Amino acid sequence: MALVTPTVSSALAATLAELKAAGELDLATFNKGESSSVDYSAPFALFSQWYAQAQTTETPWANAVNVATVGANGRPSSRAVLMQMFSVQNGFGFYTNYASRKGREMDENPFVAMTFYWPQLARQVRIEGRVAKASETDSDAYFARRPRGHQISAWSSLQSECLPSADVFTTRIREMEAQFPEGTPVPRPPHCGLYFVTPDAFEFWCEGGNRRHQRLTFSKSDGEALWTIGRLFP
Ligand SMILES: Cc1cc2nc3c(=O)[nH]c(=O)nc-3n(C[C@H](O)[C@H](O)[C@H](O)COP(=O)(O)O)c2cc1C
């Protein structure tokens, strides 16, 4: 696979030029190092642009994202999940087991951090925000679109619980296959569903030569409509 490494200046310049063209960024202010407010959709537009590029370079899993949670004990834990959808309205959606370790920790503390890393593009996107369960209707609709094998596995796995032997999981899969015979719809297990992360911070990182990386940030407080844009030392 060819390594796609856009020069930082051209990658970031293209990005900023697009935001400017969309009327979402006062580039002159930004370049003076002052913070500037941009429209709510701006970081989503930039994410969308980078993600589209990653989908062509980071096969098969451009949507793999690390999600870090912190439970009541204050200890962080992190793992990869697949981002299933994103939108300005709903944020970033992923699907998991509510009773898993991450599910329990998100119940205890609704703030999470997500990191996409796209090595072929030499880019990283960090997102922080508040997580919440999607509506039952949205989770049902998502689950109904999953392949049957995935649906059966969702019923069979007690995610994050101790598995005493591999046979125990195999037996549970057989039991669930008998419970939901081929040809009958498999309902969503009540312990699984979608979560959406509503961001209040983004950081877009591009690699630069001699460790002169570029870091572009968007942040906002709860309820604010505009993002403050900024730059960080690498
Ligand atoms: C690339 C990748 C994608 C994954 N996607 C998901 C996912 O979308 N949902 C999920 O529950 N687990 C997913 N997993 C498994 C999780 O990383 C993790 O093992 C599982 O969710 C249990 O995590 P927990 O015990 O911290 O809750 C994925 C793993 C990898 C490596």
163 occurs within a structural domain: no
Q: Which residue has its alpha carbon closest to ligand 1 atom 22?
A: 160
1 occurs within a structural domain: no
81 occurs within a structural domain: yes
Nearest alpha-carbon partner for 23 in 7, 35, 10, 36: 36
Q: Region 175-179: what's the mean pLDDT? A: 96
Structure confidence by residue, pLDDT tens digits, 182-231:
999 999 999 999 999 999 999 999 888 888 888 889 998 877 778 888 88
152 occurs within a structural domain: no
pTM above 0.75? Answer: yes
Ligand 1 in reach of 52 Cβ (< 6 A): no
177 occurs within a structural domain: no
User: What distance in angstroms lies between residue 33's CA and the mean position of ligand 1's atoms?
Assistant: 39
129 occurs within a structural domain: yes
**Rg of the chain (C-alpha set):** 20
The secondary structure of residue 26, as a DSSP letter, is: -
Q: CA-CA-CA-CA torsion for 33, 34, 39, 42, nearest 10 degrees?
A: 10
Ligand 1 in reach of 163 Cβ (< 6 A): no
Q: Which residue has its alpha carbon closest to ligand 1 atom 3?
A: 81
Q: Which residue has its alpha carbon closest to ligand 1 atom 7?
A: 81
Distance CA 186, CA 107 (A): 26
- The CATH number of whichever domain residue 128 belongs to comes to 2.30.110.10
pLDDT at 10 over 70: no
Question: Taking all residues of the chain, what is their mean pLDDT, rounded to a whole number?
Answer: 86
Q: Which residue has its alpha carbon closest to ligand 1 atom 1?
A: 64
Structure confidence by residue, pLDDT tens digits, 70-111:
999 999 999 999 999 999 889 999 999 999 999 999 999 999
Ligand 1 in reach of 64 Cβ (< 6 A): yes
The structural domain count of the chain equals: 1
Judged by average pLDDT, the poorest of 5-9, 125-129, 216-220 is 5-9
Bridge pairing between strands 111-118 and 91-97: unpaired
Per-residue pLDDT, 39: 62
Nearest alpha-carbon partner for 58 in 1, 124, 2, 120: 120
Residue 206, domain extent: 8-27+34-147+189-231
Which atom of ligand 1 lies at the shortest distance from residue 102's CA? 27
CB count in 10 Å sphere of residue 118: 19
Per-residue pLDDT, 16: 60
